Amino acid sequence: MSQLEKVDQKNIWHPFSPLAGNKPIAVKKAKGVYIHTMDGRKIIDAISSWWVNIHGHSHPRINKAIGRQAAKMEQVIFAGFTHKPAVDLSKTLMKLLPDSITKIFFSDNGSTSVEVAIKLAIQYWHNQGKPRRKIIALEGAYHGDTFGSMSVAERNIFSAPFNDFLFEVSFIPFPKGDGNEAIAKMKELVGDETAAFIFEPLVQGAAGMQMYAPEVLDQLMAIAKSKEVICIADEVMTGFGRTGKMFACDYLENDPDVFCLSKGITGGYLPMGVTAVNDRIVKAFDVADRAKAFFHGHSYTANPLSCAAANASMKLLLTKKCQLDIERIAMSHEAYMKRFVANDHVLEIRSRGTILAIELKADDAGYTSAIKERIYDYFMERNMLLRPLGNVIYIIPPYVITNQELSKLYHAIDDFLAQL
Give whichever of 208 and 417 is closer to ligand PLP, judged by the CB atom.
208
Give whichever of 110 and 256 is closer to ligand PLP, judged by the CB atom.
110
Give whichever of 66 and 153 is closer to ligand PLP, judged by the CB atom.
153
- The residue whose Cβ lies closest to ligand PLP is 110
Distance of CA 357 to the CA centre of its chain: 15
Give whichever of 269 and 336 is closer to ligand PLP, judged by the CB atom.
269
* Structural contact between residues 275 and 117, judged by C-beta atoms closer than 8 angstroms: yes
Q: Which residues bind ligand PLP (CB under 6 A)?
A: 109-111, 114, 142-144, 200, 205-206, 234, 236-237, 262
- Each as own residue / partner, the long-range contacts of residues 314-319 (CB below 8 Å, 24 or more positions apart, any chain) are 314/89, 314/92, 314/93, 314/96, 315/61, 316/55, 316/59, 316/61, 316/62, 316/267, 317/54, 317/55, 317/240, 317/241
Give whichever of 13 and 81 is closer to ligand PLP, judged by the CB atom.
13
- 324: Cβ contacts below 8 Å, ≥ 6 apart: none
Closest contact distance (angstroms) between CB of 403 and ligand PLP is 27
Closest contact distance (angstroms) between CB of 153 and ligand PLP is 9
Closest contact distance (angstroms) between CB of 188 and ligand PLP is 25
Closest contact distance (angstroms) between CB of 214 and ligand PLP is 17
Q: 31 forms bridges with which residues in the sheet?
A: 34
323 by Cβ neighbours in 10 Å (0-12 / 13-18 / 19+) ranks as middle
Task: Pick the closest to residue 2 from 44, 37, 29 (CA basis).
Answer: 37
Closest contact distance (angstroms) between CB of 396 and ligand PLP is 11
Closest contact distance (angstroms) between CB of 205 and ligand PLP is 4
Give whichever of 107 and 311 is closer to ligand PLP, judged by the CB atom.
107
Closest contact distance (angstroms) between CB of 137 and ligand PLP is 12
Task: Give the span between the Cα atoms of 358 and 391, in whole angstroms.
Answer: 8
Give whichever of 127 and 242 is closer to ligand PLP, judged by the CB atom.
242
Name the packing angle between helices 371-381 and 403-418 (round to 10°).
130
Is the Cα dihedral 194, 114, 49, 269 positive or negative? positive
* Structural contact between residues 51 and 396, judged by C-beta atoms closer than 8 angstroms: yes
Closest contact distance (angstroms) between CB of 273 and ligand PLP is 7
Closest contact distance (angstroms) between CB of 145 and ligand PLP is 6
Closest contact distance (angstroms) between CB of 202 and ligand PLP is 11
Give whichever of 137 and 401 is closer to ligand PLP, judged by the CB atom.
137
Task: Pick the closest to residue 102 from 317, 283, 247 (CA basis).
Answer: 283
- 9: Cβ contacts below 8 Å, ≥ 6 apart: 22, 24
Closest contact distance (angstroms) between CB of 21 and ligand PLP is 24
Give whichever of 114 and 309 is closer to ligand PLP, judged by the CB atom.
114
Give whichever of 17 and 226 is closer to ligand PLP, judged by the CB atom.
17
Task: Give the span between the Cα atoms of 110 and 20, in whole angstroms.
Answer: 28
Other beta carbons less than 10 A from residue 51's beta carbon: 21
- 135: Cβ contacts below 8 Å, ≥ 6 apart: 118, 121, 151, 152, 167, 169, 170, 194, 195, 196, 197, 198
* Element holding 149 (H helix, E strand): helix 147-151
Give whichever of 120 and 284 is closer to ligand PLP, judged by the CB atom.
120
Distance set, CA 91 to CA 117, 257, 399 (Å)? 20, 18, 24
Structure-derived torsion over alpha carbons of residues 241, 246, 251, 257, reported in degrees to the nearest 10: 120
